[in-house]
Amino acid sequence: MSAYVYHFSPAGTTKRIASVLGFALDADAQMIDLADPATLGGEHPVSAPTGKPEDSDIAVFAVPVFAGRVPQPAAAMISRIRGNGMRAASVVVYGNRDFDDALVELNDILARQGFSVIASGAFIARHSMLPAVAAGRPDTEDCGDAEAFAERIAEKLASAAERGVSTPIDIPGNRPYKESPAAAWTPSVTDDCTLCGICAINCPVQAIPHDAPNTTGQTCFQCMRCASACPEGARVLPAPVAAMISEKLAPIATVRKPNQVWV
Ligand SMILES: Cc1cc2nc3c(=O)[nH]c(=O)nc-3n(C[C@H](O)[C@H](O)[C@H](O)COP(=O)(O)O)c2cc1C
C-alpha cells in the first residue's frame, strides 16, 4: 500500500495527527504540505500522486477547522488535485468547540476532485487561537485513536467488497455550509519583534511583507502560523479578540471531547 498524506496545518497539530495516521498506514507515506508557501505559490504544482492509482493506494487529506469550515486556502489547494478515482480518507482537526460543516465540505471537495472517500475522522487538538483550550492535545491517547483509525482504513481498503464505494459514510454537517465570517482582525505584533522575517517566510498566503515583517496585509486569514513560528512570541492575538474567544470557549476549555471516526 502507498499512502499520500496531504496536510494543511498552520500551527502544527493537524500535521501531527496526519503524520501518525500516514505512518500507521504506510511507513514510507509521502507527506505533502499544502500550507507550504512554495506549494501554494504554484512553484511545485500539486497533482495526483499516480496517474492510475492502485486499489491499495490511499490519499489522506487533513485540514483544521476554521469557523466551522475548511480554511479557504486549503480548499483552494485541494481543488487543484485530481483524484483519478483514488480512495481517500478525510480528517478535520478542531479546537474542542465543533467542526460544524467542515467535514461535509471537505468530502464534497474531494468527491468533486475525483477521490472516493472511504473514511472520515474528526480529531481534537489544542485551539490555535487559545492554546489553553484542549491544552496538550493531540496527546498519546489521540495518537492511539489515529493509529486505530488507520487500522480500520487498512482493513476497509483490503476488503474487496468495499471496492468502488464512494461515500458510504454518514457524516454530520449541513449544506449549504455555515457562512464564513469576514476577516475582522490580524495578529498584533509586540515590541519583542526583532524583524527576523521568519513569520513572513512561513505565512501560507504571503500576507506578511518580507521588508516589514511587523505588519500584516489584507490576505491574512488568521491561521496563527506566524504566531506559532515566531521565535520571540511577538505575534499574538489582539487583546480584545483573546478576551472574546476566551469567554466564548471557557465552558469547553477543559472538557475532554472524544475523537470521532466514520468508516
Ligand atoms: C481562525 C480560526 C478559526 C477556528 N475555528 C474553529 C472552530 O470553528 N471550531 C473549533 O473547534 N476550533 C476552531 N479553531 C481551532 C483549530 O481548528 C484547531 O486549533 C486546530 O487544531 C488548528 O490546526 P493546526 O494546529 O494544524 O493549525 C479555529 C482556529 C483558528 C485559527
Predicted local confidence at residue 165, as pLDDT: 56
Centre of ligand 1 to C-alpha 164, Å, is 33
- List, in order, residues 6 or more apart from 221 with CB less than 8 Å away: 66, 71, 72, 73, 183, 205, 207
Ligand 1 atom at minimal distance to the Cα of residue 13: 25
pLDDT at 204 over 80: yes
Ligand 1 atom 2: the closest Cα is on which residue?
A: 66
For residues 234 and 193, give the distance between their C-alpha atoms in angstroms, rounded to a whole number. Answer: 5
Report the number of secondary-structure helices (H) and strands (E) in the chain.
Answer: 8, 8
pLDDT at 43 over 70: no
DSSP lists the bridge partners of residue 213 as none
Q: What is the pLDDT of residues 208-244, one digit of tens each?
A: 999 999 999 999 999 999 999 999 999 999 999 999 9
DSSP lists the bridge partners of residue 11 as none
Average pLDDT, the chain: 92
Ligand 1 atom 31: the closest Cα is on which residue?
A: 223
Q: What is the pLDDT of residues 46-104, one digit of tens each?
A: 555 656 777 789 999 999 999 999 999 999 999 988 888 899 999 999 999 999 999 99
Decide: residue 70, CB within 10 A, 0-12 exposed, 13-18 middle, 19+ buried: buried
Distance of CA 129 to the CA centre of its chain: 15
For residues 262 and 163, give the distance between their C-alpha atoms in angstroms, rounded to a whole number. Answer: 17
Predicted local confidence at residue 55, as pLDDT: 78
Task: Give me the percent of the chain exceeding a pLDDT of 70.
Answer: 91
Q: Please state which of the ranges 39-53, 156-170, 247-261 shows the lowest mean pLDDT.
A: 39-53
Residue whose CB lies within 8 A of the most ligand 1 atoms, among 9, 127, 224, for a mutation test: 127
Centre of ligand 1 to C-alpha 155, Å, is 30
Ligand 1 atom at minimal distance to the Cα of residue 65: 17
Pick the closest to residue 180 from 68, 62, 64 (CA basis).
Answer: 68
More confident residue, 260 or 162: 260
DSSP secondary structure letter of residue 181: P
pLDDT at 45 over 50: no
Residues near ligand 1 with C-beta < 6 Å?
A: 9-14, 64-68, 93-98, 125-129, 222-224
Structural domains for the chain = 3-175+257-262 (3.40.50.360), 188-237 (3.30.70.20)
Centre of ligand 1 to C-alpha 8, Å, is 12
Centre of ligand 1 to C-alpha 117, Å, is 23
Predicted local confidence at residue 44, as pLDDT: 42
Predicted local confidence at residue 168, as pLDDT: 64
Grid cell, residue 46, equals: 500539486
List, in sequence order, every beta strand (DSSP E) within the chain.
3-7, 30-33, 58-64, 87-94, 116-124, 188-189, 235-236, 260-262
Centre of ligand 1 to C-alpha 30, Å, is 25
